[in-house]
Structure 1
């Protein structure tokens, strides 16, 4: 049996969601999770805790592909897509049926039928019960989504039952009992408890059948995504269903969520004083944090050629040094409030601005200050009020970033220097970057960087040369030089990028 036949979403995801295409460098982390999920066989529920935008969905899809390659039955459920349905049991059962049914509909037993008749006959009564319950879920799924595959091509219960229909003459005698099970699951509270026990037993039995008869590895792995985006009451119901119906031998769960956000949602139901953290702990055997990846490696693997986007202009600082530009960005964006989704949007805005300036030859400028443009976009996202207050006169608002670049200079100081190269000041003294200065006969408008002694002794020679080129370009053609307000107007246009 090939991998694609073991998992219904494998062929759709295998090219885009493998470890070779992972820009976050999470292969070792992912393999660690796979090891935990596939090693536990007595029922294990893990909470993968990651803030909004940290890449949980992409990671789960890569885990799905990796688990499928290891011959484990694997199921992916996007909880948010079905939270308009009030019954998460029906949803989970339907997905269980649909995705495992794909495996059975496209595979053959590894043993001859005659060798497994006895084992299947023993399981026949109990499998019949859960099969009818799954069938009911299947019909409900079809009614909501219009997807008939559950009842037609991928009918899980039929696949199992057909194996022994001819060999087991007692199957017809179970008809009345099956109907009573369905009735009890719909209405009778006492029988419902018994039905829950039966489902738990049968899920374990199904895991054994997939292992013993179809050559799969145990356990079944179920990946649940987007739970924190669901309605609070639906999220709680989903956790209750997993705990009471599916937390059994042969079936492991990985539930990805922004757990802090989920805790706040629970408080909306039970009150702000409710201990939602303690409440959630009872649903999980283990909680694992999804940490932010190395931004430098992430951006580097994206392979963005910033200089190549503006062949008719010079992108400064670090002209023709893409890795230094990426280092600058990674330090600038290393902020707790900036997650991967925010960084993706940031990159879209940055590349759009560079492309626009180059394509439309804004002000016939020869230079784009990459540092100022990037920080402007960052501040526009982080603190739009300060962004709007800045003018072509050097602002009293400071530059606030973490990290350091070459020669021990802080990112904040480096960006501040470059803001002084796109703002103006009036001065009677004009300083050179080497520390010298000359007097002006009257107050003269110049770049702010020229009006101050910057103490550049520790600068890299390359940085000094680039700054001197910018200063000379402004002196020669001030009307073709991009100042802060030019960048500010352009960045404002990126509001349309969400």
Structure 2
């Protein structure tokens, strides 16, 4: 047990958002629910949706939860829905994930190997084209969707489409007297296809449950439930997301299988509603697929900034007090920016710092307001950035308080000429702003330096504009301007 605890501690070493306590709770809850259902003679599967906004650490959580479950003796299958949504049918992606998860234990235990061989053989008999065409055409009528909505989901002609085409073509040749007979035969064929697919699905579910059951008490040393973790569902094509959920509901929810989805539920339900047309209730529709939804607690702004700053090369930046997290947190608070805006601004700062070509560090008091102004207006302009800056942004303590807007204003009024900066630094004026200018520009002033030249810090505006082009899709990019 001590070895297991040490391993789990290492799994969560990079947990800056304190998601481990969520993982511990959800693991105990899901295994407890499955055990309770099994003891009551009910189907012992569970489907949980973990809901968090973008940037809430869903993918990090899911990956660590999976490793923790593996450490505790479970087989874990990972499905990246967005990565796999190029496939025609999610069934293939899910089966591939299960096959990968079982592979190490197939070699260790003949019972597991046999169960998986039977499962794949049985699963291969599922008529995917029928299930995605005629079967769905019949079953989805219960969702009050139009035939056009259903048929449009298939890349290839479905069985139902072929029947309809044949009926129309034949009716032209034979006349209306034969239409009823043609439709009757078409319906008989569709019902037969439906029954065959339904039988194959039922058999597949039995074989999957049997394969999971072999994990308990075998040489493989694993135990139920089998965890299937599905990430990035809210980034998929709406039709693929719906298809994946339906595949899981009808094929994979069997005894001993636990699904955990990580989604931005609001985005996913809007996406699904958009796919099916105005008035479609995406929220109610999604509830059909999840037993429960677990909502991550909101993280503090500073905690999120710590997470985002971990990828910034702070060695290339000049920041007051040498504390990047504190400086950026104070700036985001002063601008009253929400979490989503904060993420985009931090991403722009990261890109700009990465592209900074000089040995001398880039100045954060100049960089942050320019990025914030760009986010708000779509314009990279020094004067606009100054006008948009809050007067209330102060750094330091009672003895050393720096008004960031004043420091920014004085810097951009002089940085076009190092001579102007030197003249200011040679004055008798004392205070935090002069200390700041000396730290930012003093290293550029030397006997060999042409004082008529501007500071290298003026290049920040061009880099921010370039960073904006890198981050924004072409079709939605705002206009970009640079200061002269």
Question: TM exceeds 0.5?
Answer: yes
Which band: TM-score by shorter chain? Answer: 0.5 to 0.7
- Deviation of 1:356 (Å): 1.9
The answer to whether the 8 Å contact 1:419/1:484 transfers is no
Q: Distance in 2 between matches of 1:403 and 1:33?
A: 41
Which of 376, 381, 386 is residue 383 of structure 1 equivalent to? Answer: 376
Aligned CA RMSD, in angstroms, stands at 4.5
The answer to whether the 8 Å contact 1:51/1:258 transfers is yes
Is 1:416–2:405 an aligned residue pair? yes
The answer to whether the 8 Å contact 2:70/2:76 transfers is yes
1:244 counterpart SS class = helix
The answer to whether the 8 Å contact 1:72/1:219 transfers is yes
1:402–1:88 CA distance, 2 compared to 1 (3 A)? farther
1:92 counterpart SS class = helix
> Which position in structure 2 is the counterpart of 1:466?
435
> Which position in structure 2 is the counterpart of 1:30?
23
Q: What 5-or-longer segments of structure 1 have no aligned partner? A: 4-13, 114-119, 141-183, 362-366, 426-444, 451-460
More helix by share: 2
The answer to whether the 8 Å contact 1:317/1:466 transfers is no
Which of 208, 213, 219 is residue 203 of structure 1 equivalent to? Answer: 208
The answer to whether the 8 Å contact 1:49/1:258 transfers is yes
| Aligned pairs for 1:212-223 within 5 A | 212-213=217-218, 214-223=220-229
Which of 79, 83, 86 is residue 85 of structure 2 equivalent to? Answer: 83
1:347–1:63 CA distance, 2 compared to 1 (3 A)? farther
- Name which of structure 1's ranges 220-229 and 79-88 shifts more when overlaid on structure 2: 79-88
- Deviation of 1:261 (Å): 2.1
Structure-1-length-normalised TM-score: 0.62
- Deviation of 1:397 (Å): 3.1
| Deviation sequence 1:195-240 (CA, Å, 0-9, x none) | 4333333333322221132332221100011212222112111111
The answer to whether the 8 Å contact 2:123/2:204 transfers is no
| Deviation sequence 1:344-379 (CA, Å, 0-9, x none) | 7335324225x4233xx6xxxxx8532221232343
Is 1:263–2:265 an aligned residue pair? no
Q: Distance in 2 between matches of 1:404 and 1:138?
A: 67
Which of 398, 410, 417 is residue 388 of structure 2 equivalent to? Answer: 398
> Which position in structure 1 is the counterpart of 2:475?
none
> Which position in structure 2 is the counterpart of 1:156?
none
The answer to whether the 8 Å contact 2:212/2:225 transfers is yes
Q: Distance in 2 between matches of 1:190 and 1:267?
A: 30
The answer to whether the 8 Å contact 1:83/1:234 transfers is yes
> Which position in structure 2 is the counterpart of 1:489?
462
The answer to whether the 8 Å contact 1:423/1:484 transfers is no
Which of 290, 294, 303 is residue 288 of structure 1 equivalent to? Answer: 294
1:46 counterpart SS class = strand
> Which position in structure 2 is the counterpart of 1:370?
364
> Which position in structure 1 is the counterpart of 2:358?
357
1:98–1:295 CA distance, 2 compared to 1 (3 A)? closer
1:347–1:446 CA distance, 2 compared to 1 (3 A)? closer
Q: Distance in 1 between matches of 2:216 and 2:357?
A: 57
1:40–1:131 CA distance, 2 compared to 1 (3 A)? same
Q: Distance in 1 between matches of 2:190 and 2:71?
A: 36
Q: Distance in 2 between matches of 1:217 and 1:327?
A: 46
Q: Distance in 1 between matches of 2:241 and 2:232?
A: 10
The answer to whether the 8 Å contact 2:373/2:388 transfers is no
> Which position in structure 1 is the counterpart of 2:316?
309
1:218 counterpart SS class = strand
1:260–1:194 CA distance, 2 compared to 1 (3 A)? same
| Deviation sequence 1:310-349 (CA, Å, 0-9, x none) | 7xxxx3533xx2xx33211134356322475x47733532
1:256 counterpart SS class = strand
The answer to whether the 8 Å contact 1:203/1:250 transfers is no
Q: Distance in 2 between matches of 1:338 and 1:289?
A: 21
2:411 counterpart SS class = coil
The answer to whether the 8 Å contact 1:210/1:216 transfers is yes
Q: Distance in 2 between matches of 1:385 and 1:139?
A: 48
| Deviation sequence 1:141-195 (CA, Å, 0-9, x none) | xxxxxxxxxxxxxxxxxxxxxxxxxxxxxxxxxxxxxxxxxxx999731243344
| Deviation sequence 1:28-70 (CA, Å, 0-9, x none) | 3333333334433222111122334444333322222111111
- Deviation of 1:487 (Å): 2.8
1:357–1:236 CA distance, 2 compared to 1 (3 A)? same
> Which position in structure 2 is the counterpart of 1:337?
340
Q: Distance in 2 between matches of 1:403 and 1:260?
A: 34
Which of 236, 246, 256 is residue 250 of structure 1 equivalent to? Answer: 256
| Deviation sequence 1:359-402 (CA, Å, 0-9, x none) | xx6xxxxx85322212323433x1353433x44xx767322599
1:356 counterpart SS class = coil
Q: Distance in 1 between matches of 2:326 and 2:258?
A: 40
Structure-2-length-normalised TM-score: 0.63
Q: Distance in 1 between matches of 2:254 and 2:25?
A: 22
> Which position in structure 2 is the counterpart of 1:327?
326
1:75 counterpart SS class = strand
How many residues in Structure 1 have an aligned counterpart in Structure 2?
374
| Aligned pairs for 1:126-137 within 5 A | 130-136=119-125
> Which position in structure 2 is the counterpart of 1:20?
13
| Deviation sequence 1:248-273 (CA, Å, 0-9, x none) | 33111111222222212212232122
- Deviation of 1:108 (Å): 6.8
The answer to whether the 8 Å contact 2:212/2:224 transfers is yes
> Which position in structure 2 is the counterpart of 1:48?
50
> Which position in structure 2 is the counterpart of 1:7?
none
